[in-house]
Chain A
């Protein structure tokens, strides 16, 4: 058998439900298998840990070819909210929690959460804007330091 993975550091760089969930599922799954896990939120991925935004993340129905939806239809008011609601319902049945609960779950599972300093500076954010599960705001150098000896996954 190949060598076991002992540590992963996962970067979540994209916003929207489809941008945020894969990284959360991978980090949580790592913890479930006893693998050390770090999550680094950057750019629009940062929405997932911003108190005011984390509960309002939607799936894009425009400019998202994965939705298999005609662009004009996706533009209709409420379309994104409807698609989001449908998706949430399906995921809830699979016990995939909404983002705020997922952040809490993955943190309780022992995963460490970090926010990207460059993005924080760019969007003029403060530590208080983040949910309490965020350990600290770190720069890219610190991220590599924290990730040393493990795998880095960019999503």
Chain B
């Protein structure tokens, strides 16, 4: 475990840069991680995904799958790939302060 400074907040992260404790997350942290992932600005569409993922994670202990995001009407698969290009599930989870998704789908 190591620590990283995102904006003005220091958080605990794992070897791949995923946060370990969601309680340390703030919107400022999310914005800073997003910049690192190549997303210059988080739009309301991004926040909708991020907030749903956090809610799901708190309830189930897992980040939701892309299928679940689609089926619950949060974001279509196409739009998700546009919002978080080059690895949507992982990028969105990292920005949301969640651990790395473990599933294959």
Contacts and interface: CB of A to CB of B under 8 A. Distances in A.
Interface stretch (B17-25, B26-34, B39-47, B86-94): B86-94
B58 interface: no
A69 interface: no
Contacts of A31: 81
A33 to B, nearest CB: 5
A34 B81 CA distance: 9
A31 B87 CA distance: 7
Most B Cβ at <10 Å: residue of A94, A95, A101: A95
Contacts of B104: 25, 29, 96
Interface stretch (A76-84, A105-113, A116-124): A105-113
A97 B67 CA distance: 8
Contacts of B87: 32-34
A33 B66 CA distance: 12
Nearest to B101: A32
Given A31-B81, A94-B103, A105 B86 contact: no
Listed from nearest, the 7 A-B pairs whose CB atoms lie closest are A34-B86, A108-B77, A95-B65, A34-B87, A108-B78, A95-B67, A96-B105
